[in-house]
Structure 1
Amino acid sequence: MNTNPPIYILAIESSCDDTGVAVMHNDRVLSNVVAKQDIHEQYGGVIPELASRAHQSNIVPTVEVALQKAGISKHQLSAIAFTQGPGLMGSLLVGSSFAKSMAMALDLPLIAVHHMHAHILAHFIEEGQEKPTFPFLGITISGGHTQIIKVHSHDKMELLGETTDDAIGEAYDKTAKLLGFPYPGGPFIDQYAKEGNPKAYTFTKPKVEAMDFSFSGLKTQIMYFLQKNSKGNPNFIKENLADICASIQHTIVSILMDKISAAVAHTGIQSIVIGGGVSANSGIRKALYDREKTHQWKVFIPKFEYTTDNAAMIGIVGYFKYLNHQFADLTTVAFPRISV
């Protein structure tokens, strides 16, 4: 019989433009609330100053809703976990300052969490699913990050490769803007790609050594391609939208699969765990599942609710750190850039 007292962790995620608050009971999610910021859509991207101001407005009510949905009071909490970085500095400061204040007021331990670790370890949230076994390859694909990480344990990770310029999500969104889609445009490319021919147009894949990525050159190549063809036919994009999207997606997915294959060959590890907002992309999911059949990879893809920024993934890392007594103190600061 387990006589250990339950662990309740309040987790706060504020790395970019979503204010996330979750309550964990050990490794299970009791609530996972996200307050989104629609104001950025009119600007075609996240405006840091507006994001931090919105976090200030959202964080108190979001915490209240998360506690209510979890059915516990703040006095039952065991610790407060928060995103330390990487992310937008102003946004991180709102979350970290609130977490410190709440931990101090309630005399609770404070836990600092690496945002990218959380995307990978979200797979360990207990929902009755099969979980990865160590070591595995963690692939973080989001609007701000593209990394291949060798994950030795919950708290030991080794960076194998990363983007040298644009992240994969940034490449999707910037390309989508060229096609006239609103922000964020990546999901629109994914949607139209399902209806098009992925071999209709050919784009050259960038030559980058080892397991690193580069997407800025591809974005520029697509821009010139669209300009050239639209000059002769002003309706070129509209008339060929599905094929253009399918060809762009095919190229991006192919780049990603090439790099993962290189990492598998380098490490001998065939367990692939992806995380981050772009892991919701249907083309990437299909390509990974195809590799399970053809290359004997073991693929782990998160539920859609854990792909984008959310506090439950911060909470699961907070839980593991709590068990190991890996606590922060009130001098802990947020870092917009922080290594794996």
Structure 2
Amino acid sequence: MAVVLGIETSCDETGVGIVADGRLIGEALASSMEEHARFGGVVPEIAARAHLESLMPCVGKAFAEAGVSPREVDAVAVTAGPGLATALQTGVAAAKSLALAWDVPLYGVHHLAGHVAADTLEHGPLPARCVALIVSGGHTSLLLLDDLARAPIRHLGDTRDDAAGEAFDKVARLLGLGYPGGPAVAKAALGGDPDKIGFPRAMPGSYSFSFSGLKAAVARWVERSPGDVHVADVAASFQEAVVDVLTAKAVRACRDHGVPTLVIVGGVAANGRLRELAAERCARAGVELRVPAPRLCTDNGAMIAAVGGLLHAAGEPASTFGLSVDPSAPLVRAAIV
């Protein structure tokens, strides 16, 4: 049984997970989100300091939950990019120290590959071929996947400007709903009419995404309706525009490429309306839908451990101890060496 410790410190959450043969056996998570809320977004220096304070306590908690000792660890995996430079450096430095002390291989992991691998912790190994839709605060990508550990990752489409999660944050700010925007908008939308306002859907004929125009349309609507803004209707109509585009393109990608499985991952995948509409459209198209539980959608150490486990099982080369962080790492492969 291969035991892999994973560390995730790319943004404002310190995550540690322990995976044994693809099964999550221990995890811990600490968030500095409340410290960033008053600034309306993540402050890198605050995030890095929070990681320093939380990381080793999280490691201890994960081991306690897993019921294993450091002597039983076979590999250490860590997010090496993309993300905030100082935050990433904190995690990579800790991972190097632990791997060196335990004399085990070190695997640098791409953060977005971690989101995809998170689904394996709930639904088992990925199919031989699938389409993955990654939707998070900083990324929106539509991918064609073969073997996540071994094969190159093919991008069908990416965002041209704002990511979906970023658009949620900005619209939440416009509506005075606070930070983080995704949960705030989703909550407000529960009381609104998603068909009330016909916000635009960008680039319907391609696999690429654009949400800056939608964000601008919301801003113009709010400006034209001072003192008469029905926040719930605006939130619901905006949310519907986002999830409509995301699900339509993802299902079409599956049809066009003859792929029977769609995997939706990333922080925005926790959105209830996205999950609901994706399920409806996949059912009509005869496509299997896989979406991990909401707690596995947001950043966590378990997903990084899952990628490390796949790399270790596939016999992929480990990273050297000269591993550097790459804050803007392109998603080409699961490993960053």
Q: What TM-score results when the alignment is normalised by the length of structure 2?
A: 0.93
CA distance change for structure 1 residues 130 and 292 in 2, over 3 Å: closer, same or farther?
farther
- Per the TM alignment, residue 130 of structure 1 is displaced from its structure 2 partner at its CA by 6.0
Q: Equivalents in 1 of 2:106, 2:240: separation in Å?
A: 44
Q: How does 1:279-298 map to 2 (within 5 A)?
A: 279-298=269-288
- Per the TM alignment, residue 132 of structure 1 is displaced from its structure 2 partner at its CA by 3.9
Q: Equivalents in 2 of 1:70, 1:119: separation in Å?
A: 21
Q: Structure 1 residue 153 and structure 2 residue 147: aligned?
A: yes
Alignment correspondent of 2:56: 60
Q: Equivalents in 2 of 1:192, 1:183: separation in Å?
A: 13
Could you say which structure has the larger radius of gyration? 1
- SS across alignment from 1:29: strand
Match of 2:162 among 163, 166, 190: 166
Given that residues 81 and 327 in structure 2 are in contact (C-alpha distance below 8 angstroms), is that contact kept between their aligned partners in structure 1?
yes
Match of 2:210 among 211, 214, 218: 214
- Per the TM alignment, residue 58 of structure 1 is displaced from its structure 2 partner at its CA by 1.0
Given that residues 210 and 262 in structure 1 are in contact (C-alpha distance below 8 angstroms), is that contact kept between their aligned partners in structure 2?
no
- Per the TM alignment, residue 323 of structure 1 is displaced from its structure 2 partner at its CA by 1.4
Amino acid at match of 2:130: F
Match of 1:195 among 191, 195, 201: 191
- Per the TM alignment, residue 258 of structure 1 is displaced from its structure 2 partner at its CA by 2.9
Q: Equivalents in 2 of 1:265, 1:66: separation in Å?
A: 41
Q: Structure 1 residue 318 and structure 2 residue 308: aligned?
A: yes
- Per the TM alignment, residue 266 of structure 1 is displaced from its structure 2 partner at its CA by 3.0
Q: Structure 1 residue 177 and structure 2 residue 168: aligned?
A: no
Given that residues 275 and 301 in structure 1 are in contact (C-alpha distance below 8 angstroms), is that contact kept between their aligned partners in structure 2?
yes
1:21-77 C-alpha deviation (Å, 9 max, x unpaired): 111122111111101102011111101111111111111111111111211221221
CA distance change for structure 1 residues 27 and 51 in 2, over 3 Å: closer, same or farther?
same
- Per the TM alignment, residue 205 of structure 1 is displaced from its structure 2 partner at its CA by 1.9
Given that residues 208 and 214 in structure 1 are in contact (C-alpha distance below 8 angstroms), is that contact kept between their aligned partners in structure 2?
no
Q: What TM-score results when the alignment is normalised by the length of structure 1?
A: 0.92
Amino acid at match of 1:58: S
Q: Equivalents in 2 of 1:169, 1:23: separation in Å?
A: 27
Alignment correspondent of 1:20: 15
Q: Structure 1 residue 337 and structure 2 residue 328: aligned?
A: yes
Q: Structure 1 residue 8 and structure 2 residue 37: aligned?
A: no
Amino acid at match of 1:12: I
Given that residues 7 and 15 in structure 2 are in contact (C-alpha distance below 8 angstroms), is that contact kept between their aligned partners in structure 1?
yes
Given that residues 14 and 31 in structure 2 are in contact (C-alpha distance below 8 angstroms), is that contact kept between their aligned partners in structure 1?
yes
Q: Structure 1 residue 274 and structure 2 residue 264: aligned?
A: yes
Match of 2:246 among 247, 256, 260: 256
Alignment correspondent of 1:139: 133
Q: Equivalents in 2 of 1:329, 1:208: separation in Å?
A: 43
1:66-122 C-alpha deviation (Å, 9 max, x unpaired): 111211221221111101111111111000011011111221111111111111121
Match of 2:113 among 102, 109, 117: 117
Q: Structure 1 residue 299 and structure 2 residue 289: aligned?
A: yes
Count of residues in Structure 1 that have an aligned counterpart in Structure 2: 327
Gaps of 5+ in 1: 1-5
Given that residues 139 and 163 in structure 2 are in contact (C-alpha distance below 8 angstroms), is that contact kept between their aligned partners in structure 1?
yes
Overall identity of the aligned pairs, in %: 35
Over the aligned positions, Cα root-mean-square deviation in angstroms equals: 1.5
Q: How does 1:99-114 map to 2 (within 5 A)?
A: 99-114=95-110
